[in-house]
């Protein structure tokens, strides 16, 4: 009996030892590590780039109520200032929280699509940029920001003349599109790019081949089309969208296209905050929550048939 008990304990200890590696966090990357954080801001976008030399870039700031969450993420990472903040386009689910961020954290440079919008949210953001940053750079394909030595952020779009009368939203179509490069790691930030944006990037022969793709427009059906995916060939695809969003983001069609393209998909509505770490050779993705493959590859349905795939309406625009 006693021997059986001892044997049982030994087996249990052996099993724990076997699982030790599986339960442990992924091995820390050696060398100089770059991080890209997809901050879970519900239905909206917010991405933070932190280089090994602590250069910081914030791409979008979610809806107005996301401001405190973004600032809390910055504080947690001990980030007191941002070298660059980017507003990909003036929809509320991308710039809503920007004013709050600009008030809380010193921002050295501000990059904007240059597209004006009639909403109070947009006007407030411009006022905050004027007051707290002092200057605004209008994005134009060809611009390049050197972050650390060997780490660059290139503007691939928009370019003049802006796309007009697209099938979806012109503001989305002229989103700032960025490419981040570090060794063999690269990432595309596509804002709410439309089909026409992708077609133009392809015809411009923009460098689209990347390791990681920030999927355009919360996984809407209007972009992330096959020709674009054939050029981008992402190994990792990140979708920012809210649980229970009424737009049906991400759509099944877009998830199916990503699956056929061989991308591993992560979603903020399922995984929460997502972080990609890379030392320029290897990349590791960590997530706040786990999700099953069945959940990841299942699209959401829009609440109504009129899924335009458009952004959250600006609730204050009527005032
Ligand atoms: Zn959006
Ligand atoms: Zn939008």
CA of 247 to the centre of ligand 1 (A): 11
Is the pLDDT reported for residue 100 higher than 60?
yes
Ligand 1 center to 313 CA (angstroms): 10
Domains delineated in the chain: 31-296 (3.60.15.10)
Q: How far is the CA of 211 from the centre of ligand 2 (A)?
A: 24
Q: How confident is the model at residue 303 (pLDDT cuts 50, 70, 90)?
A: confident
Cα of 172 to ligand 1 centre, how many Å?
Answer: 8
- Ligand with the closest atom to the CA of 170: 2
**What long-range pairs does 173-178 form, CB within 8 A, spacing at least 24?**
173/197, 174/89, 174/113, 174/115, 175/88, 175/89, 175/113, 175/216, 176/86, 176/87, 176/88, 176/89, 176/111, 176/112, 176/113, 176/139, 177/88, 177/201, 177/206, 178/59, 178/86, 178/153, 178/154
Distance 311 CA to ligand 2 centre (A): 5
Distance 1 CA to ligand 2 centre (A): 68
The predicted-structure confidence for 182-227, as pLDDT tens digits, reads as follows: 999 999 999 999 999 999 999 999 999 999 999 999 999 999 999 9
Kindly indicate the confidence band of residue 28, based on its pLDDT and cuts at 50, 70 and 90. Answer: confident
Res 27 pLDDT > 80: no
> What pTM was estimated for this model as a whole?
0.89
The rounded Å distance from CA 63 to ligand 1 centre is 9
């Amino acid at each position: 009996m006693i021997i059986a008990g001892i044997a049982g304990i030994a087996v249990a200890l052996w099993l724990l030892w076997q699982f030790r590696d599986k339960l442990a966090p992924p091995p820390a990357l050696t060398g100089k590590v770059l991080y890209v954080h997809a901050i879970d801001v519900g239905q909206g976008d917010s991405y933070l780039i932190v280089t090994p030399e602590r250069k910081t870039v914030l791409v979008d700031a979610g809806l107005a109520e996301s401001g405190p969450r973004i600032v809390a993420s910055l504080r947690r990472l001990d980030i007191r200032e941002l070298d660059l903040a980017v507003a990909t386009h003036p929809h509320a689910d991308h710039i809503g929280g920007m004013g709050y961020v600009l008030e809380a954290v010193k921002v050295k440079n501000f990059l904007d699509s240059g597209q004006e919008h009639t909403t109070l949210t947009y006007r407030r953001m411009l006022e905050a940029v004027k007051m707290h940053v002092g200057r605004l750079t209008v994005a134009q394909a060809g611009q390049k920001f050197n972050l650390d030595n060997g780490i660059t952020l290139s503007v691939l779009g928009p370019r003049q003349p802006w796309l007009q009368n697209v099938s979806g939203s012109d503001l989305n179509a002229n989103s700032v599109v960025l490419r981040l490069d570090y060794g063999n790691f690269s990432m595309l930030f596509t804002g709410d790019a439309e089909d026409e944006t992708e077609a133009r990037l392809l015809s411009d022969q923009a460098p689209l081949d990347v390791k990681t793709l920030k999927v355009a427009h919360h996984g809407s059906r209007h972009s992330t089309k096959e020709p674009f995916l054939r050029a981008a060939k992402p190994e990792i695809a990140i979708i920012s969208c809210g649980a229970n969003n009424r737009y049906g983001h991400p759509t099944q069609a877009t998830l199916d296209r990503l699956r056929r393209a061989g991308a591993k998909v992560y979603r903020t509505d399922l995984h929460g905050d997502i972080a990609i770490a890379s030392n320029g050779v290897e990349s590791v993705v960590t997530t706040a929550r786990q999700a099953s493959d069945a959940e990841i590859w299942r699209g959401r349905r829009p609440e109504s048939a009129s899924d335009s795939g458009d952004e959250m309406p600006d609730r204050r625009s009527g005032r």
